[in-house]
Amino acid sequence: MVQYQQPHLDASFAALSDSTRRGILERLGRADASITDLAQKFHMTLTGMKKHVGVLEQAGLVTTKKVGRVRACKLGLRRLEEEAAWIERYRRLWDARFDELDKIVAELKLEKVDDEK
């Protein structure tokens, strides 16, 4: 089995695989928030939210800073360019495959019309 040496992609996609974590990123895209605020917004315990934020932080998608007794969260420095490029390569691949399939279907339709004449 081929092993790819891009662990940050694995961490990013693992972090993005959960709908709550995607929601956290959307929320932090609008404004910074504390873990307490996020926990209330997503109706979960502080412990649960800390775990979600920790996964996002390990992937570099979120940063946290302790301000007094509050842990403030904001979007991290990673902008997902590499992840977007990886997705784009596969989108192009699938587009090319579907274009070829469209050509085959069009040829088969023409053959069917010719056979009916």
Residue 115: which domain range?
A: 80-117
pLDDT average, residue stretch 90-114? 90
Residue 4 is predicted with a pLDDT of 59
Whether 35 is covered by a domain: the verdict is: yes
Query: How does residue 1 score in pLDDT terms, banded at 50, 70 and 90?
Result: low
Identify whether residues 65 and 93 lie together within a single domain: no
Q: What stretches of the chain adopt beta strand conformation (E)?
A: 33-34, 62-67, 70-75
Interatomic CA distance for residues 36 and 41, integer angstroms: 9
Exposure string for 77-91, b = 16+ CB within 10 A, e = fewer: ebebeebeebeeeee
Residue 5 is predicted with a pLDDT of 60
Query: How does residue 14 score in pLDDT terms, banded at 50, 70 and 90?
Result: very high
| Domain end call among 75, 90, 108 | 75
Residue 21 is predicted with a pLDDT of 98
Q: What is the pLDDT of residues 23-81, one digit of tens each?
A: 999 999 999 999 999 999 999 999 999 999 999 999 999 999 999 999 999 999 888 88
Identify whether residues 103 and 70 lie together within a single domain: no
Q: Which of 14, 19, 12, 30 is nearest to 73 (CA)?
A: 30
Whether 1 is covered by a domain: the verdict is: no
